[in-house]
Structure 1
Amino acid sequence: MKKLIILIYLFVPAFLMQAQIKVDVGKKVEKTANRKANQKTDQAINKTFDKLEEGVGSLFGKKKKNTSKSITSEQNNNTQEVSTNESTVDENIKADKVTMSWSKFDFVPGDEVIFSDAPDMDEENGEFPTRWDLKAGQVEVVEVNGEKVIAFFDGMPEITPYLKNAETDYLPETFTVEFDVYRPSHGNRFFVYLWDRKRQKSGGNAEIEINLNRVSVGEISAEYAPERDNEQGRWMHISIAYTKGKLKVYLDDTRLINIPHYEFNPSGLSIQCYFANVNEKQIWYLKNVRIAKGGVKYYDRILSDGKIVCNGIRFDVNKASLKPESMGQINEIYQLMNKNTDLKFSVEGHTDSDGNDQQNQTLSEQRAKEVMNTLIQMGIDASRLQSKGFGETVPLNNNATPEEKANNRRVEFVKI
């Protein structure tokens, strides 16, 4: 074991010098070596995996870390501290050579956000993410390409939302889950469990397994874009929709899983990275996690409320540029207007209370106009649409929590 520790310590990969994180490699490497031994044990006695995982996970609990970390590389008895800035970030983190149209993306998120974590830019680098609980492995907040993300470092890291009622079934009969995950080159597998494996006593439902271009739920699996290169790391957008027993799973712009009668009752959420390894460049990243409740057909909303509220139409931070996953709701609005040619909408933008009042007003106007123009480009006659912005002046709630802010950041389609 000492020999293994020495070998790993001497060959800390250059990737660590390229990520916007600061790591105390000496201590982390020793822990990684111990964990790798446990990983082999896990593989050999898979039936007792959960018990072993809990024991290993306790070694890396929520301990206090130095927020000012350093990335070091020791070779030939020399130690070098590396400055990390935008230019040193691994270019693979930004890369995805496959072009996706999102034109047939039909995922529509739930109406009410019940859990949301980006994570926030106020989160400290090197600390455990405050809105999560740890079941196993080593997980920290880091900064990549100017935004905070959750990094899965070693072992089989697994996290669950930190909710007061996590012991109970907190998922409604209709809900959606979304997140972005970065899979490193030659990364292994990523799992989503629709129950809290730390705080809920039982679940038993089949895990959702995510690979480079494949999604599996139990014995059911499907893939697309087989031309994708396993050597190329990339960000993936995952969308999950559960509606009274029906389960759908999307990978990027494509629905791969459609189970009409899911035999288990979803009760919570656990996210696990299978064999992350900091020394083998197998660091995974997670961001933009959102669980939302409900979902009513758009035409029924128009009849009952006279408007459609969309919190799934999203934009880049402080910009009016649409994120591709927004096309799910925009495609639904387009189809609704295409089938009901008498419908006319006022597209109205709203923000949360963060930032400057006037900037929020301007931003809401620009975003509403961008959505309107997108529908026009898709073929909706311009005479049927107009746009307005209200900034932060018409909140749905108090902006006191990330969930309340997520619900306030919305685009409404008001019938005119």
Structure 2
Amino acid sequence: MVTAVLIGSTFSNTARAQLLKRIKQEVKSRVENKVVRETGDAAEKSMDKAKEGVTGATKGTKDKPVETVDGNATTNNRSFSEYKSYDFVPGDRIIFQPDLSGEADAELPARFSIKRGNAEIQRYESEKILHLDKGGYVTVAPLMKNEDYLPKQFTVEFDIMWENDKDYFDQFNDVRVLFLHHGDNNFESYGMYEFTLISQEKVVLGAHSGNGQKIPEALKNSLQSNDIWHHFAIYVRDNIAKAYIDQYRVAASNNMPTGAVKLALNTDGRYGYKVKNFRIAAGGDDKYNKIVTDGKFITHGIFFDVNKSTIKPESMGTLNEIAKLMKDHSDLNFEVQGHTDSDGSDDANMKLSQTRADAVKTQLVKMGIDDSRLTTKGFGETKPIDKNDTAEGKANNRRVEFVKM
């Protein structure tokens, strides 16, 4: 669907031409590219703001939450049906999730330690990203107070886009997440184990190996296209690990080395890379056990568009788990509770948390849960579970809770 835009008289000819060009490119991408689907929401946010500016519309803020779209529709060009088998569930306590929005352009990142090469904060499509330069190996690691920050069970997620000015990838390249043991500061090694994407066509999960496991052809085609955000996700529990790219589980192992306490992100420098939404979370206990012991469980795995109640398809791992839990235990009924951090006005946060809770219920009903088994309530920022003075604290407070009724 092409969005009509009214160009205001105060809008310059140059800006008008740039906007129309961007809208044309956006429409072309949505119509022609059904395999290559975008994970991140940066382009979506940028287009929204540009359209609002030329129509004289009120700038979108937290004071105006937007109702969710139909659960079968697409969000950021990926559909819920594509994620129907997705089973990645993030950990339930966030231990690293830097907020890059307040960092200065072209400066060194405040929350990442640069171990090798060059990296800096840049602005891309109206948001701040971590840029890893081309031309040589680049390694960055979370900047933490303690070296040993990875528990036995954890998840890692981030969005990444490679920079290639050609229509094809003409160089061998890789992106690697290294997992290291205590005291290992050799970030030029391969660590205890790794998750590596090799030339957008195969992956390694485990100890370093020159061989790799091929990925699905549709994913390969998507990864070998330019200017697309892709979501990486890794789950580790003792000797068990699973790795995902976008909606695909690309590798799994029950023979992983144990004892890794820290990690780093490494690129080989043949291309530049953009990185955002980096998150490490601990735990992820069985939800039924949490219900038995606590009468509720908390999830950080239901994702929404920024300042909206539109659920992203990447949420399907968590939603699938909750739907299965309720189908397996017909006696379970929940109040779905929405919570926000303290940013924004109290009233806006209350409304946003309510519409998000409603959206979650709507999606679970679409997945076969009887409407009568779910109620909703938004609490806004009134019930924090962490401090609101750090990025991680705010991220923990932004959550959905399922409370047994």
Structure 1 length-normalised TM: 0.72
Paired residue for 2:288? 299
**Which of these two proteins has the greater Rg computed from alpha carbons?**
1
The residue that corresponds to 1:127 in the other structure is: 107
Number of equivalences: 326
Correspondence list, 1:320-331, <5 A = 320-331=309-320
Conserved? CA contact 1:245–1:263, under 8 Å? yes
Alpha-carbon distance, 1:322 to partner: 1.5
2:122 to 138, 142, 150: 142
Is residue 239 of structure 1 aligned with residue 239 of structure 2?
Answer: no
Work out whether 1:214 is the aligned partner of 2:205.
no
Partner Cα separation in structure 1 for residue 392 and residue 327 of structure 2: 33
- What are the equivalent positions in structure 2 for 1:309-320 lying under 5 Å apart? 309-320=298-309
Q: Match of 2:289, SS?
A: helix
Deviations 1:88-112 (A, max 9, x none): 88969x8864255111111111111
Query: Partners of 1:399 and 1:304 in 2: how far apart?
Result: 27
Once the two structures are superposed, residues 1-35 of structure 1 have per-residue CA deviations (whole angstroms, 9 ceiling, x without a partner) of: xxxxxxxxxxxxxxxxxxxxxxxxxxxxxxxxxxx
For residue 180 of structure 2, the aligned residue among 192, 195, 199 is 195
- Counterpart of 2:391, as a letter, is P
Shift, 1:231, TM fit:
4.2
Gaps of 5+ in 1: 1-81, 277-281
TM-score (norm 2): 0.74
By relative contact order (CA 8 Å, sep 6+), the higher-ranking structure is 2
Task: Tell me, yes or no, if the aligned pair for 2:179 and 2:191 is still in contact at 8 Å.
Answer: no
Matched, 1:184 2:163: yes
Q: Which residue of 1 aligns with 2:216?
A: 224
Q: Which residue of 2 aligns with 1:286?
A: 275
- Asked if the contact 1:215–1:257 (Cα under 8 Å) also holds between the matched residues in 2, the reply is yes
1:395 corresponds to 2:387 = no
Query: Which residue of the other structure, out of 71, 81, 84, is the alignment partner of 1:103?
Result: 84
Aligned residues with identical type, % of pairs = 38
- Whether 1:262 aligns to 2:282 is no
Change (3 A) 1:86 1:267: farther
Indicate if the aligned counterparts of 1:135 and 1:198 stay in contact, CA closer than 8 A: no
1:410 corresponds in structure 2 to: 399
Correspondence for 1:116 among 97, 112, 125: 97
Quote the Cα distance in structure 2 between the aligned partners of 1:199 and 1:262: 18
Q: CA separation of 1:388/1:407 partners in 2, compared to 1, >3 Å: closer, same or farther?
A: same
Write the letter of the residue equivalent to 1:364: S
Q: Which amino acid aligns with 1:158?
A: T
- Structure 2 counterparts to residues 68-107 of structure 1, below 5 A: 97-98=34-35, 99=78, 101-107=82-88
1:273 counterpart = 2:262? no
- Deviation of 1:184 after TM superposition, in Å, equals 3.2
CA RMSD of aligned residues (A): 2.8
- Matches of 2:85 and 2:349 in 1, distance apart? 31
1:175 paired to 2:164:
no
Summarize the Cα distance change of 1:305–1:197 in structure 2 as closer, same or farther, 3 Å threshold: closer
Q: Deviations over 1:259-288 (max 9, x none)?
A: 102025322111012114xxxxx3311011
- Asked if structure 2 preserves the Cα contact closer than 8 Å seen for 1:204 and 1:264, the reply is no
Distance 1:162 1:97 in 2: 38
CA–CA distance in structure 1, aligned partners of residues 310 and 183 of structure 2: 38
Q: Structure 2 stretches of 5 or more lacking a match?
A: 1-14, 36-77
Aligned to 1:194, the other structure's residue is in SS state strand
Q: Report the CA distance shift for 1:138/1:87 in structure 2 as closer, same or farther (over 3 A).
A: farther
CA–CA distance in structure 1, aligned partners of residues 362 and 124 of structure 2? 32
